[in-house]
Structure 1
């Protein structure tokens, strides 16, 4: 198939594009041309690159034409964040026979009500922020589009994406490197909440696997949405315990109120922690396993460790103690 990947140079595309090439597909990557994949792979030499500024072309109504002119059998959209942008692409592709696979987010769900959270259930409350609201609206629009006989679509909802090349969401639900410093040195870690709050990561290559399966199993994926995460989720307490052991340490957690936590960190880190921990999410992947054959290779802690090792080895994270694993 000829597969057009929109935004293929980012987290997911770093693993997805080489997978698609290895599977024998013709791959076209649409990007702004300002970045490259996080890790190199020989398959990129066989990828056609098209430079396009989606935001600008969406504004002047030409982005859909840019995509359809490439005559794709499938389009994987990794960088769509508004209902208007998604609708414009659907309207351009409608009638082309292409299959649109959209990257959503588990933040289409709000606070957990029942665990694990399943697609199409009452397991979670409504989304909490504009990003999640838009992702939810897009997913609902795409599902209705296919149900009404229009464009064949599929939505993949990733968890907290982790892999070599970028910082993972840490045990406090943010990207503060000082959290890793405290864990590596055995210092007390100030934890807001109960410590039982859940976070659900996914390795970028496992996520890429799900996108590849959705493309190749069009009939099974048509009109569906899938939560794609690791086989298990991590609690704050469990995550900290596991991570401390990587450095030969024992986690020492100090329970604090949210006000106390906010007073001891930046506004951005505090807001990120609240966003992850207040949701306290854990998801089931049974639908993706049953319909697509999704088989994640990474437990969440394995994915985080791989990411952390890359950051340390590449001088992007300096810690007081070395990894012992």
Structure 2
């Protein structure tokens, strides 16, 4: 297939592009900068210049492809306070893809998140996010709209990614936790640290996106989850050991002040299952789990 990939130079996308090419697919990647274009080309993909705000570019690229994997999201503005703006831009992009793909039976794979799906119990692919009208719920509403495209002749699927897609070079939540521990002089966890945190290696996540494009049934939800739930205290202990700093609890009421934007997330108990995903598309994670990967040491290099 000729597959159009947004976010093709990002953390997951840069793993998904070679995964797709090695499986015999052609990749066309969206690039909003010269650096992104060079990275996509170096990986063997074709380049379309533009951003998720260029809706005509998205429609044209989707119409010229055999399928779409939509990984891009405006994390830069989401993490600086405008999550609603990022989610609204994402919905506009999804609507543009829907216009191009309706009635074609081509695959459309959307990246979404699994954290907070069913706090306090193990979330499954059958769980659906609620809509409370908050900015945080907008992304779940968009995911629901993508699943609904099955009724419009699109082989749509949603891949919910673990909050940590780890690996050498990760600059996400685990790297942020290491940074907090360095700055504060100890490795912290919230309360008793029993909160469970789903995780997946980025290479395993990339393979799941390929499988979704190849064979996920219309209207299906998949979980890019390898570790169902790693206790946050266990993560803190790995960090403490590698940085040679104490490991201690942070009171829940102090979590936001200590961890910043991570505080509310680390306070959630949010495990998730991958059982239905494995049965549906034959995905089997093969790369190291989160704690083993962190113990390799790459999160702790200066």
TM-score between both structures, scaled by the size of structure 2: 0.82
User: Relative to 1, partners in 2 of residues 1:34 and 1:233: Cα closer, same or farther, differing over 3 Å?
Assistant: farther
2:213 is aligned with 1:224: no
Could you tell me which of 126, 144, 160 is aligned with 1:157?
160
Output the CA distance in 1 between the equivalents of 2:181 and 2:133. 25
The CA deviation string for residues 172-210 of structure 1, in whole angstroms up to 9 with x for no partner, is: xx546141577xxxx643433221112112211110010
Could you tell me which of 67, 89, 92 is aligned with 2:97?
89
User: Relative to 1, partners in 2 of residues 1:153 and 1:181: Cα closer, same or farther, differing over 3 Å?
Assistant: same
Match of 2:31 in 1: 31
**Contact preservation (8 Å) 2:188, 2:249:** yes
Match of 2:263 in 1: 273
Match of 2:49 in 1: 51
Output the CA distance in 1 between the equivalents of 2:43 and 2:235. 38
Could you tell me which of 197, 206, 209 is aligned with 2:207?
209
The CA deviation string for residues 105-133 of structure 1, in whole angstroms up to 9 with x for no partner, is: 114x456132x2112238x8767962x41
SS of 2:69's partner is strand
Q: How does 1:1-325 map to 2 (within 5 A)?
A: 1-36=1-36, 44=42, 46-55=44-53, 57-58=54-55, 62-69=56-63, 71-80=64-73, 81=87, 82-107=90-115, 109-110=116-117, 112-114=119-121, 116-121=122-127, 130=135, 132-146=136-150, 148-159=151-162, 160-170=164-174, 174-175=176-177, 177-180=179-182, 188-217=186-215, 220-246=216-242, 252-263=246-257, 265=258, 269-274=259-264, 276-297=265-286, 298-305=288-295, 308-309=297-298, 312=301, 317=302
User: Relative to 1, partners in 2 of residues 1:222 and 1:97: Cα closer, same or farther, differing over 3 Å?
Assistant: closer
Output the CA distance in 1 between the equivalents of 2:292 and 2:172. 12
**Contact preservation (8 Å) 1:157, 1:226:** yes
SS of 1:166's partner is coil
Output the CA distance in 2 between the equivalents of 1:231 and 1:192. 20
Q: Greater CA deviation, 284-293 or 222-231?
A: 222-231
Output the CA distance in 2 between the equivalents of 1:311 and 1:129. 36
Unmatched segments (≥5 aa) in structure 1: 318-325
SS of 2:3's partner is strand
RMSD: 3.0
Bigger Rg over Cα = 1
C-alpha deviation, 1:224, in angstroms: 0.1
Unmatched segments (≥5 aa) in structure 2: 74-86
Output the CA distance in 2 between the equivalents of 1:66 and 1:113. 43
Output the CA distance in 2 between the equivalents of 1:309 and 1:37. 27
SS of 2:99's partner is helix
The CA deviation string for residues 188-247 of structure 1, in whole angstroms up to 9 with x for no partner, is: 434332211121122111100100111222xx4321011211234211212222344456
SS of 2:174's partner is coil
Q: Greater CA deviation, 75-84 or 276-285?
A: 75-84
**Contact preservation (8 Å) 1:170, 1:179:** no
User: Relative to 1, partners in 2 of residues 1:6 and 1:72: Cα closer, same or farther, differing over 3 Å?
Assistant: same
**Contact preservation (8 Å) 2:191, 2:250:** yes
Output the CA distance in 2 between the equivalents of 1:231 and 1:37. 33
User: Relative to 1, partners in 2 of residues 1:311 and 1:33: Cα closer, same or farther, differing over 3 Å?
Assistant: farther
The CA deviation string for residues 51-101 of structure 1, in whole angstroms up to 9 with x for no partner, is: 11221x23xxx13433235x2111111115432321221122213342111
TM-score between both structures, scaled by the size of structure 1: 0.76
